[in-house]
Structure 1
Amino acid sequence: MSTPSATPATPAARQSLTMVCATMAGAIPMMTLVLWFVLAVDGIGEFPESWPLLVVLAAAVGAYSICELVGFRTPPLQYSNRPTAEVQADSWRRFTASTFTRFAVCEAVFLISVTLAFVADSFWVVLLGAVIALPLFFWEAWPGERNQRRFAAALESGGIPSYLTGRAQD
Structure 2
Amino acid sequence: MSTPFAAPTTQQRLTTVCATMAAAIPMMTLVLWFVLGTHGLGELPASWPLLVVLAAAVGAYSFCELIGFRTPPLEYSSRPAAEVHAESWRRFTASTFTRFAVCESVFLISVALAFVADSFWVVLLGAVIALPLFLWEAWPGARNQRRFAAALESGGIPSYLTGRPQD
Shorter-chain TM-score above 0.5: yes
Amino acid at match of 1:164: L
Name 1:48's counterpart in structure 2: 45
Per-residue deviation, residues 48-68 of structure 1 (Å, max 9, x unmatched): 000000000000000000000
Aligned counterpart for 1:78 among listed residues 58, 63, 75: 75
Alpha-carbon shift at residue 82 of structure 1 (Å): 0.4
**Counterpart amino acid of 1:123?**
F
SS at match of 2:135: helix
> 2:133 aligns to what?
136
1:163 maps to what in 2? 160
Q: What's the offset of the Cα at 1:96?
A: 0.1
Counterpart in 2 of 1:8?
A: none
Residue 105 of structure 1 and its aligned partner are, at CA, apart by 0.1
Give per-residue Cα distances to partners, 1:127-162, cap 9 Å, x unaligned. Answer: 000000000000000000000000000000000000
Aligned to 1:64: 61
What is the number of equivalent residue pairs in this alignment?
160
* Residue of 143, 146, 150 corresponding to 1:149: 146
Alpha-carbon distance between aligned partners in 2 of 1:44 and 1:129, rounded to the nearest angstrom:
14
- Structure 2 distance, partners of 1:121, 1:157, is 49
SS of equivalent to 2:34: helix
Distance 2:10 2:166 in 1: 19
> Displaced runs of 4+ in structure 1, greater than 3 A?
none
Aligned partners of 1:104, 1:53: CA distance in 2, in Å? Answer: 20
Structure 2, unaligned runs of 5 or more: 1-7
Q: Which amino acid aligns with 1:99?
A: T
User: In percent, how many aligned pairs have the same letter?
Assistant: 85
Separation (CA, whole Å) in 2 of partners of 1:112 and 1:79: 42
Counterpart AA for 1:168? P
Does residue 15 of the first structure (1) align with residue 12 of the second (2)?
A: yes
Where 1:46 maps in the other structure, the secondary structure is coil
Is residue 127 from structure 1 mapped to residue 94 from structure 2 by the alignment?
no
1:96 is matched with which residue?
93
Specify the SS of the correspondent of 1:31. helix
